[in-house]
Chains A and B, each alone.
Chain A
Amino acid sequence: MPTEILADGLELRDARRARAFAAMEADDIDVLLLGREANARYFAGAQRLWTAGTRPFGPGCVVVRQSGAVHLVSTWDEGVPGDIPHENLFGITWNPGNLLAWLRGIDGVTEARRIGTDSLTPRFAQLLPKLFPAAEFVDAEPSLESARRVKTPEEVEAIRSAICVAESALATAISELRPGVSERHLTAAFMEAIARQGVTTPGAQRVAWVSSPARFERRNWTEPIGDKDLVAFDAAVVAAGYSAEVGRTWPSSPAAVDKSTRALYRKADDLLHRLLDACQPGASCGDLLEAYRSGGELLPPFPIATGLGLGFDLPVVTGHLPRTADEECLVPGMVLALTAYAVGEGSNGALRNDALFRNDAAFRNDAAFRNDAAFRSDVVFIKEAVLITDGAPTVLTSSPQWRP
């Protein structure tokens, strides 16, 4: 991280904008009103203040296809690239009337036939068509997702840089793992370590969680970790806008690892290799789900693959969206956070008729998940960042995994 607030580099910006404008052209979108930071940054290349959690939609970035102009809500030019002139900046406003007046004054917006948004609120869904009665309003998120999901070489470099920070901080957090410390303490160690490297924005904020059956008895993440516990680390940072994620599972005391846990580590490794084998260009994302099924592994309740990039990128592969997975193909240039999640056979070796996850009761009618309501057990969780190429995938992460 530099000592000044920098906009994204010229090559990165140019390559992204070329893709994004091509997507607008292909989908015949004249003007974009963007609320999501990832989309705004994809076009503008500006660094704005980070906050955690979802944000309500508001058009904070406006893109006009014909002129190629990018307009941005920003009260200052710090962190804004020089190709967005001052007259294209509009100060932070709390008044929707002022915001709408700004939109109306932007060259090319009132003439637009098709205006795309990346989300809407009920209020904007009512206001915008009244303000621009001649325009058809369309959902632009699919176009933007299709532009964003394949990374430019500069983006892959940005993700690699973010991975370096995440992996170094992960190593720090793992070095503090021992029986008696809490999940929260490990999270604190991780957060401090990323900031020391100049990155002050995490991607997720529960960095460590006990993945032994003991997790079902834990009331909160301040409790001490036991001497037979496995701890899953889910390290995620956002550096210069780009996400990096890496996951590992470590025993709190390696000497206490028993035979069945060692077998579980091997099982997770096998699953990871099956997943990597499925990461072929042109393959369906459904093949990733199949990599779980073919080995008899239970799907976790969260996605097994998500796109890495600026914010939320495709694909998102989960057993809850099987049709979406089947319809989505892996394409060279995609970067995935790929999760191997291996569930053991239960601490007593027997299937138990209670829930693996506390919400499994809700999965009772959901065929994909009926099985994972079966037993409580250790979990070994591994997450790698993987670049899809023309051949075998490139694993971008290299954090050491505990080996039996």
Chain B
Amino acid sequence: MQRDRRAKLKDAMDAQGVDALVLLGNSNVSYATGASWPLADPGRANFDRPVAVVAADDEHPHLFTAFADLVAPDLSLPEDHLHRPAYLEFDEGAEAFCRDLAEIVGNDARVAIDELPGSMRRVNSSFFSEAGIASADEVVGAAKLVKTSDELGFLRTGLLITEKAIAPVQAALAPGVREVDLTACFLRGVFDLGAEANILDPIFQVMPRRLADGPWTTHGDIACPLPTTERELELDDVLWVDTGISYVGFASDFGRTWIVGSQPTVRQHAQFRAWREIIGAVLEVTCPGATGADLTRAALAASDGRKPWMEHFYLAHGLGIESAEPPFIGTDLGEGYDERQVLVPGMVVVLEPLVWDDGAAGYRSEEVVVITEDGWASLTDYPYDPYAD
């Protein structure tokens, strides 16, 4: 897997005229080195993060970390590629790191970086002049777009862990159960089943029947996702569920609609059928060469021209080392952007259309598919219960 990634990174670096990458973002480091670890709260992650340096002419990445026994036990990195931790939030740490960097890549290397904390800008280094430093996000972004077969295997396992852990959560749904109890059951399950980390405060959102009963929003559309509370579930509550974990550095994503303690009404079944029609129409055009705009047009046509996804999100997003990564389809980047997103085999896409039926809430689920040579293949098979065609 790392050999494939290494080749893709090298191609992307060459294409963008970059000699070396300095990576601070957790997922970028994980991609470039193969290291993975249980992710911390963003605050703590800012100062104890591993840092990677990738030189174009070196087959191994360099890794700077205090937790090599944890993040890098099986990476087979040469000893001189494992370094003391880089504390880039501190001038002293940034100075030491820049000295090491100069030793690794030389003084004239064209360096791309993904983040510039203040200390890195203050330290007198020719690498980090603010004018014109290249973005390493764009290099890694180009490399990670298409998944290798190894990567797909890990993604499948992460998705499977998530689905196995969510089944007892759904079984526990009942009036009087608190939202946080669902989280407790889910977290216990994912760790017992082999998750590396929980990557999102799991969403178990009770949806209002009418938009007007929900929170105020900037666009007048649905407010979602909202954090869980200790609110007790009530009979007939409609829950929108959205959650994900990480496994060996890969994110999973899960989305379904559940009903508390009762079966769907005729109207709710109709919502589900409408959703099936939309997802069917989108999958119908999902194949290599299709653009994001092909997908959004199919979704719009299947829902009478009414946008069947959240105004502030998207119809679809990529899944891989991050729970939402390119390609993004149906965002406020606009139709021209969607036209330029071309599907290719090996991309993993999460489709998340919804049907809103004001007065009776709505239906939303997520489908995770990989683009294949002749179309797509589903990466998940969790049932839609209690809804049925």
Least CB distance from B186 to A in Å reads 8
| Cβ-defined contact, A76 with B223, below 8 A | yes
| Cβ-defined contact, A52 with B83, below 8 A | no
Q: Which residues of chain A have C-beta atoms less than 8 A from B334's C-beta?
A: 95
| Cβ-defined contact, A5 with B227, below 8 A | yes
Chain B positions 125-180 with a Cβ under 8 Å from a chain A Cβ: 130-137, 180
> Is the CB of B229 closer than 8 A to any CB of chain A?
yes
1/0 contact string of A385-400 vs chain B (CB within 8 Å): 0000000000000000
**Known A5-B226, A76-B226, A201-B201; contact A92-B313, beta-carbon cutoff 8 A:** yes
> Is the CB of B210 closer than 8 A to any CB of chain A?
no
1/0 contact string of B73-106 vs chain A (CB within 8 Å): 1100001101111010111110010000000000
Closest-by-CB residue of B relative to A300 is B66
Closest-by-CB residue of A relative to B311 is A91
Q: Which residues of chain A have C-beta atoms less than 8 A from B332's C-beta?
A: 93-95, 98
Least CB distance from A182 to B in Å reads 9
Chain B positions 211-254 with a Cβ under 8 Å from a chain A Cβ: 215-219, 223, 225-232, 246
Q: Which of A103-111, A150-158, A269-277, A358-366 contacts B (4 or more CB under 8 A)?
A: A358-366
**Known A196-B180, A357-B69; contact A94-B314, beta-carbon cutoff 8 A:** yes
Of the four ranges (under 10, 10 to 19, 20 to 34, 35 or more), the interface on chain A belongs to 35 or more
- CA gap between A121 and B130 in the complex, in Å: 10
Least CB distance from A78 to B in Å reads 4
1/0 contact string of A106-148 vs chain B (CB within 8 Å): 0000000000001111110110010000000001111000000
Task: Give which listed residue, A55, A193, A310, A369, contacts B84 with CB less than 8 A.
Answer: A369
Task: Give which listed residue, B37, B49, B200, B333, contacts A206 with CB less than 8 A.
Answer: B37
| Cβ-defined contact, B65 with A359, below 8 A | yes
Closest-by-CB residue of A relative to B187 is A191
Closest-by-CB residue of A relative to B81 is A362
Task: Give which listed residue, B41, B92, B114, B180, contacts A311 with CB less than 8 A.
Answer: B41
| Cβ-defined contact, B187 with A206, below 8 A | no
Q: Which residues of chain B have C-beta atoms less than 8 A from A243's C-beta?
A: 41, 43-44
Least CB distance from B224 to A in Å reads 9
| Cβ-defined contact, B68 with A205, below 8 A | no
> Is the CB of B359 closer than 8 A to any CB of chain A?
no
| Cβ-defined contact, B218 with A141, below 8 A | no
> Is the CB of B306 closer than 8 A to any CB of chain A?
no
| Cβ-defined contact, A91 with B312, below 8 A | yes
Q: Which residues of chain B have C-beta atoms less than 8 A from A38's C-beta?
A: 42-43
> Is the CB of B46 closer than 8 A to any CB of chain A?
yes
Closest-by-CB residue of B relative to A55 is B42
| Cβ-defined contact, A188 with B229, below 8 A | no
| Cβ-defined contact, B180 with A357, below 8 A | no
| Cβ-defined contact, A238 with B41, below 8 A | yes
| Cβ-defined contact, A2 with B333, below 8 A | no
- CA gap between A189 and B202 in the complex, in Å: 17
> Is the CB of A54 closer than 8 A to any CB of chain B?
yes
Least CB distance from A38 to B in Å reads 5
Task: Give which listed residue, A200, A216, A312, contacts B89 with CB less than 8 A.
Answer: A312
Of the candidates B27, B43, B130, B218, the one having the most CB atoms from chain A within 10 angstroms of its own CB is: B43
- CA gap between A257 and B233 in the complex, in Å: 47
| Cβ-defined contact, B40 with A205, below 8 A | yes
| Cβ-defined contact, A192 with B229, below 8 A | no
Q: Which residues of chain A have C-beta atoms less than 8 A from B196's C-beta?
A: 205
**Known A49-B201, A122-B116, A324-B92; contact A204-B135, beta-carbon cutoff 8 A:** no
> Is the CB of B121 closer than 8 A to any CB of chain A?
yes
> Is the CB of A253 closer than 8 A to any CB of chain B?
no
| Cβ-defined contact, A51 with B47, below 8 A | no
Task: Give which listed residue, B37, B73, B181, contacts A196 with CB less than 8 A.
Answer: B181
> Is the CB of B25 closer than 8 A to any CB of chain A?
yes
| Cβ-defined contact, A310 with B43, below 8 A | yes
| Cβ-defined contact, B70 with A195, below 8 A | no
| Cβ-defined contact, A192 with B185, below 8 A | yes
Closest-by-CB residue of B relative to A96 is B333
| Cβ-defined contact, B44 with A203, below 8 A | yes
Least CB distance from B233 to A in Å reads 11
> Is the CB of A17 closer than 8 A to any CB of chain B?
no
- CA gap between A124 and B17 in the complex, in Å: 20
Q: Which residues of chain B have C-beta atoms less than 8 A from A91's C-beta?
A: 217-219, 311-312
- CA gap between A173 and B42 in the complex, in Å: 24
> Is the CB of B109 closer than 8 A to any CB of chain A?
no
Q: Which residues of chain A have C-beta atoms less than 8 A from B200's C-beta?
A: 49-52
| Cβ-defined contact, B215 with A76, below 8 A | yes
**Residue contacts A-B, CB under 8 angstroms, 16 given:** A4-B231, A38-B43, A75-B219, A90-B218, A120-B116, A122-B112, A141-B118, A185-B192, A192-B184, A204-B40, A205-B197, A219-B74, A301-B85, A302-B48, A316-B89, A366-B84
- Identify the A interface with B (CB < 8 A): 1-5, 36-38, 47, 49-57, 74-79, 86, 89-95, 98, 118-123, 125-126, 129, 139-142, 184-185, 187-189, 191-193, 195-196, 198, 200-206, 209, 215-216, 219, 222, 236, 238, 243, 301-303, 306, 310-313, 316, 318, 320-324, 357-359, 361-363, 366, 369
Apart from A5-B229, A188-B192, A316-B90, 17 more pairs, CB < 8 Å: A47-B227, A49-B200, A52-B39, A53-B27, A54-B24, A76-B218, A77-B215, A95-B333, A120-B115, A122-B116, A191-B187, A205-B198, A316-B89, A324-B91, A362-B68, A362-B79, A363-B84
